[in-house]
Amino acid sequence: MKTYHIITIGCQMNKSDSERMASLLEKQGYKKTDKKYQSDLVVVNTCGIRQMAEDRIYGLIPAIKKANKKAKIILTGCLVNRKDVKNRLKKYVDVWKPINEITKIPLAPFIKGGKCPNDYLKIEPKYESKFSAYVPIGNGCNNFCSYCVVPYARGREVCRPAKEILAEVKKLVKNDYKEIVLIAQNVNSYKSQIPPNPPLSRGDIDFADLLKMVDEIKGDFWIRFITSHPKDMSDKLIKVIAGSKKICHHIHLPIQAGDDKILALMNRKYTVAHYKSLIKKIRKAIPDASITTDIIVGFPSETKKQSNNTAKLMKETKFDLAYVVRYSPRPGTASFKLIDNVSLSEKKVRENKLTKILSSTALANNKKYLGKIVKVLVEGENKRDELFGSTETAKIVKISTGDFNQRLPRSPGSSPGLKALPRNDSLVGRFVDVKIIKAKDFGLEGKLVKKKLLV
Ligand code: 5AD
Ligand code: SF4
């Protein structure tokens, strides 16, 4: 049996795409291996969002080919169309395929006994997790933010029919998945032309409608979604989130910069005032919402004063988390033509300053959790027998279980009404209640609330 290994660099969309790639390869008879240097087939799912992500493949791909000359290498993802990347790696890469064309890779006859769907989003993924699943609602982007490679790498926005999304979610929930993450480059511009049933058959389904339909699926699960674009976030969507039971109170709303001139240069199509008004509406409708963001420091021509405007916005908005990154010029994008005139050292200064503000607002927000009992989805266990997981507000929680396991009856039925509790690790993928006893800037710590586990 031939083996395959997939290396995924980048965002959730790439991770989800790799899950479809894995499924496709297994249907062709390939078997997964963890050994990238010995695999018959290595897929490198690339990311071009920043230079750092790009650079990872230049050492990796030649090293794989050197270790195993017979290995076939497929390169897909965001760097596949870049001519300079092709020139640099053509000696090592056997197949170059954009992700939406992976169904056409000429390696083996496709899917034994069946036809491979033309639309790559129709491939049923081999989900990495047994309890949390990425469900793409579309692919590509029409926004052309001036710094961003995504519209070039992934093409124009394509939305998946609502019917298909709902069917995938229903199946996942039936299989006991606890977290559904709806993903797209801009979820807020979602439109479905295929109404699944009345009364929505009157018109198009937008993202708020889709979320509502997913929320109505019966079962004990959480719904997350990424990423929202501030220019497209509607009042209707905020209302749907506020009124739902399953949609997590976490909104990732990238601001990118807190200065109108820089936002215009970035082609973001909103102003700081608009962003602030959105935050106000969200906080009013969903008081416990956690709000996270992306920020680029040192965009071409950004002055100290303009960066200070971002600092001011951060202080006012009190983000729970922000991915603060240094601007990285990307070939082919509009801003690549601008001079990258903020020095690396100045970018670092701005990055540190914004990260410090973030740290203090995040800590203040997290302190509000002290003494509270919160629902946590357990995601794993560390070597010290501690569990960790996330709240619906996307706070990472370290959970101590104390002597709980030892004190429980070991066999089912040994105590009326109690079931022997499995070891900690079988709590992975389950919801538990946790009492928060410590708040840090980027995490919480708590104790398992025991009574909730005796089910
Ligand atoms: N330089 C720095 N950061 C970038 N991002 C996208 N393109 C660039 C770039 N050229 C960041 C944005 C976006 C996130 C996914 O990556 O903040 O929201
Ligand atoms: Fe890139 Fe802007 Fe599209 Fe996001 S919305 S993927 S930043 S072009």
Among all bound ligands, the one having the nearest atom to the CA of 322 is 1
Beta bridge partners of 206: 191
Mutation pick for ligand 2 pocket among 141, 226, 299, 336 (CB with most ligand atoms within 8 Å): 141
- H/E element holding 37? none
Beta bridge partners of 77: 46
Tens of pLDDT along 243-300? Answer: 999 999 999 999 999 999 999 999 999 999 999 999 999 999 999 999 999 999 999 9
Backbone angles phi, psi at 46, to 5 degrees: -90, 160
150 lines ligand 2 (CB under 6 A): yes
In 3D space, the residue among 275, 306, 254 whose CA is nearest the CA of residue 145 turns out to be 254
192 lines ligand 2 (CB under 6 A): no
Q: Would you say residue 235 has pLDDT above 70?
A: yes
CA distances from 238 to 31, 188, 207, 217, 232 (A): 44, 11, 11, 19, 12
151 lines ligand 2 (CB under 6 A): yes
What pLDDT is stored for residue 103 in this prediction? 78
Point out the least confidently predicted range of 71-75, 150-154, 391-395, 449-453: 449-453
267 lines ligand 2 (CB under 6 A): no
Among all bound ligands, the one having the nearest atom to the CA of 11 is 1
Position 115 confidence tier, pLDDT thresholds 50, 70, 90: low
What pLDDT is stored for residue 119 in this prediction? 79
CA distances from 35 to 39, 41, 68, 71, 119 (A): 6, 11, 11, 12, 30
Q: Name, in order, each residue with C-beta under 8 angstroms of 16's C-beta and a sequence gap of 6 or more.
A: 125, 134, 135, 136, 183
143 lines ligand 2 (CB under 6 A): yes
296 lines ligand 1 (CB under 6 A): yes
- Tell me the C-alpha distance between 213 and 206, whole Å: 11
Q: Would you say residue 146 has pLDDT above 50?
A: yes
Mutation pick for ligand 2 pocket among 47, 150, 157 (CB with most ligand atoms within 8 Å): 150
125 lines ligand 2 (CB under 6 A): no
49 lines ligand 1 (CB under 6 A): yes
Contact status, residue 6 vs residue 18, Cβ threshold 8 Å: yes
Is the bond preceding residue 195 a cis peptide, omega within 30 degrees? Answer: no
- Tell me the C-alpha distance between 326 and 49, whole Å: 12
Tens of pLDDT along 57-78? Answer: 999 999 999 999 999 999 999 9
145 lines ligand 2 (CB under 6 A): yes
Q: Would you say residue 160 has pLDDT above 60?
A: yes
- Tell me the C-alpha distance between 222 and 232, whole Å: 23
Tens of pLDDT along 394-432? Answer: 999 999 987 555 444 444 433 433 344 445 557 999 999
382-391 long-range contacts, Cβ below 8 Å, gap at least 24?
385/424, 387/424, 387/427, 387/428, 387/432, 387/448, 389/432, 389/434, 391/444
Among all bound ligands, the one having the nearest atom to the CA of 150 is 2
Cα 390-395-398 angle, rounded to 5 deg:
65
Q: How many A from CA of 141 to the centre of ligand 2?
A: 6
- How are strands ordered across the β-sheet holding 222-226? 132-136, 179-183, 222-226
In single-letter form, the type of residue at position 285 comes to A
End-to-end CA distance of the chain: 44
What pLDDT is stored for residue 386 in this prediction? 85
Backbone angles phi, psi at 51, to 5 degrees: -55, -40
Position 120 confidence tier, pLDDT thresholds 50, 70, 90: confident
